[in-house]
Structures are given as structure tokens and as C-alpha cells.
Structure 1
Amino acid sequence: MIRVDIVYGGAEYSLGGRSLESIQTEVETAFLAGKPYWLRVNSGGGRFEDAYLLIAPGIPFAILNVKPHNGPDIDLEVDGAFNQDVL
């Protein structure tokens, strides 16, 4: 099952059965419309609990693409993918 996590106001939420791209398109469309938009997400860890996140300018919003763990962890320090100078 596909799951996308969302970080909003320091809390984590999720959307199941949706692709990262479909959520990005929904959020971008809402944002470009110039009106506040309520995105329905799941706030429950063990059971589905509706939550509605306000999508509007000035509100921090992050989408995390959750992938199943199918292989070894990557050491970001070794492969150069993690650049502390950027942080």
C-alpha cells in the first residue's frame, strides 16, 4: 500500500492510497486558486481519524514519500548525499 506522510504544524499525518504526485497536484491547485483549502488527512496512528489541514500561504507544509524498507540503510555520510554545508 502506498502511504504519504505529511508534516504540518510539527505533527505528522498520513494519506493512504495516494501518490505523492497526486497530493502535490491537489495542494498546488488549491494554492493557485488563491483561497484557503482544507486537505483531509489521517491523524490516527492505529485507526483512521479524520483531520483537516488548512492549505494557505504562510503555513508550513511538507510531504514525505514513505517507502517500504526493502534493503540496507544508506549511510548518508559515506555516499556524500548528506551535505551539512547546505543545512
Structure 2
Amino acid sequence: MNRIDIVYGGRPYSLGGRTVASVQEELATALAAGRPYWLRVNSGEGRIEDAYLLIAPGISVVLVNTKPNGNGADVGPEPDNAFMRDVL
């Protein structure tokens, strides 16, 4: 399974079953809308524990692709409805 590690406020979080490109698109769309956006991520180590990160201008977010293929591209399928535009 594909996993993206996220560093936010100096703390680690993660997203499973997503691609870096889809998360980048989600965040860019949220920022373009001009309103704050809450990104649901996992904060648990070894267990699912939802956390919500505030995405807004001036807040630093780092995405780390932990399962890239040999040339650095994302691998793995994107699950249906992983990025739900209707919540933006």
C-alpha cells in the first residue's frame, strides 16, 4: 500500500492509499478556494487515529512519498472518492 508521510507543526502524520499528486491537487484546490480547509490524516502509530490539519496560506506542510518506484513516481491505485471535491 502507498503511504504518504506528512510533517505538520513539527509532528508526523500519514495518509494511506493516496498519491502525492492527488494530495497536492487537493491542497491546491483548497487554497485556490480562498478558505481554510481541514485535511483528515492519521496521527496514530500502528493504529488509525484521525487528526485534522488546517490548510491555509502561510502554514507549512511537507509531503513525503514513502513508497515511490525506482524513478520517483507514485505507485499504487488511488481509491475511489479519496479526494472528495464536494467537501471543499
TM-score tier (shorter)? 0.7 to 0.9
Specify the alignment match of 2:29 in structure 1: 29
Q: Is the counterpart of residue 43 in structure 1 residue 39 in structure 2? A: no
Specify the alignment match of 1:56 in structure 2: 56
Q: Partners of 1:62 and 1:6 in 2: how far apart?
A: 5
Q: Partners of 2:6 and 2:27 in 1: how far apart?
A: 12
The CA deviation at 1:46 is 1.1
Q: Larger radius of gyration, structure 1 or 2? A: 1
For residues 39-63 of structure 1, what are the alpha-carbon distances to aligned partners after superposition, in whole Å with 9 as ceiling and x for unaligned?
Answer: 0000001100000000001111110
Which structure ranks higher in relative contact order (CA pairs < 8 Å, sequence separation ≥ 6)?
Answer: 2
Structure 1 alignment gaps of length 5 or more: 71-87
> Structure 1 residue runs of 4+, over 6 Å off?
none
TM-score in terms of structure 2 length: 0.75
Structure 2 alignment gaps of length 5 or more: 71-88
Specify the alignment match of 1:2 in structure 2: 2
The CA deviation at 1:67 is 2.1
What is the number of equivalent residue pairs in this alignment?
A: 69
TM-score in terms of structure 1 length: 0.76
Specify the alignment match of 1:17 in structure 2: 17
Identity within the alignment, %: 67
